[in-house]
Amino acid sequence: MAVAKLGRTIAHYPWGGSGAISDLFGWAPSNQPEAEWWLGVHPVRPSTLSADGSPLSQWLQRYEAHSDLPYLFKVLAPTMPLSLQVHPSTEQAERGFDEETAAKVPLDSSERLFRDRFAKPELVVALEGGFQALAGVREVDDTVAALQAIAGSDDTPAIDDLVARLEGNGVGDAVRWLLSGDPGVDEVIAELTARATRDDTLSRVCEHFPGDPGVAIALLLHRVDLEPGEALFVEAGVPHAYLSGFAVELMAPSDNVLRGGLTGKHVDTEAFLDIARFEPGPLPTLSPQPASGRVEVYQPPGYAFHLSHLAGDTLDERVELTGPSIALCTSGRFQLRGPRGSVTAERGDAWVLSQSESPVVFEGSGELWWASAR
């Protein structure tokens, strides 16, 4: 049967909670930070088969006649803010990658900005307990109101100056100034930090990144508190930072991240400003659409991947696969039945399914997600 269980390729980044993913799925307790579970063939952290440790890419070559996937599937478990960041478009990634390669910047260098030639659009869907994030630029009036609420009746000349800059020249100019190193920026950050308890977002970023200009930039973005099943879709150039919670994430198979602050990693201010878009707009949310039966699908428009979701009791759904798929059971128990047999997926199990197994019947109770090529 062209189905295989995947191993636990966990990223132990410091922003992950201690044993967070193990706790989420009921695995054996772990005291290591667990930030992400990668499910795919990206060279940074490629999946292996749990049966023998062989690479997923070899399995794909055997059953799909190729070794790549047009997506990378993850489980996220941050307990502190991730970096303020943006991702490039395909054109920007190709240009940046080629320029850094020509300049002989090593691929594993901490200062390398473009590690591949691909865009990195990201779909994030909250799991049990919800997920908190900053994503997209909010309207100037909303930011001004938030800054004034933080200032209250206090004498805050630096915050007042930031408000005047926003109202006079817009968000882009304000961000460039905040990242410029101008001495006045330190005064703004000091006034905000002294009043951090007045705003939840401000309190979180000040706790972990005191003195960082990203503290002020965070207030220019939409705060998004996703309930389970609610989703964000972050396209090229959209500034964002994930804060906390549990989520599944589906993206293009890229590792291109340009950081503007709120991190101990390399920050390239000019590269961040060159890619980021600061036009105010609505929350970058994405709603699922009903498919067959009780299946719903998150389909980012124009991209070669989608995420399907099935949840409930006594389910029995027949699904046509559109390409090699990775299924993840986040609760309950399911039988995955294809033309040549069946396997059992329980909470915390991930399986890769070849398109040759289509149609697949998902039978059971709980919650199941599967990433597929379009």
DSSP state of 108: T
The dihedral built from the CA positions of residue 322, 323, 327 and 333, taken in this order, carries a sign that is: positive
Residues 320, 323: Cα–Cα separation, whole Å: 9
Which member of 259, 337, 340, 374 is catalytic?
259
DSSP string, 342-370: EEEEETT-EEEE-GGG-SEEEEEEEEEEE
Strands (E), the chain: 3-5, 10-11, 17-18, 33-34, 36-39, 72-76, 84-86, 122-137, 221-226, 231-234, 240-251, 258-261, 289-290, 296-298, 305-319, 325-338, 341-346, 350-353, 360-373
Question: Using CA atoms, how far apart are residues 41 and 106, in angstroms rounded to an integer?
Answer: 21
Answer yes or no: are the C-beta atoms of 165 and 174 closer than 8 Å. yes
In this structure, the number of other CB atoms found within 10 A of the CB of residue 129 comes to 12
**Helix (H) and strand (E) counts in the chain:** 10, 19
3-state secondary structure of 58: helix
**The amino acid at 247:** A
How many alpha carbons fall within 13 Å on the CB side of residue 243?
A: 22
Query: Is residue 259 among the annotated active site residues?
Result: yes
Structure tokens at 187: 């005064």
Q: Which residues have a catalytic role annotated?
A: 259
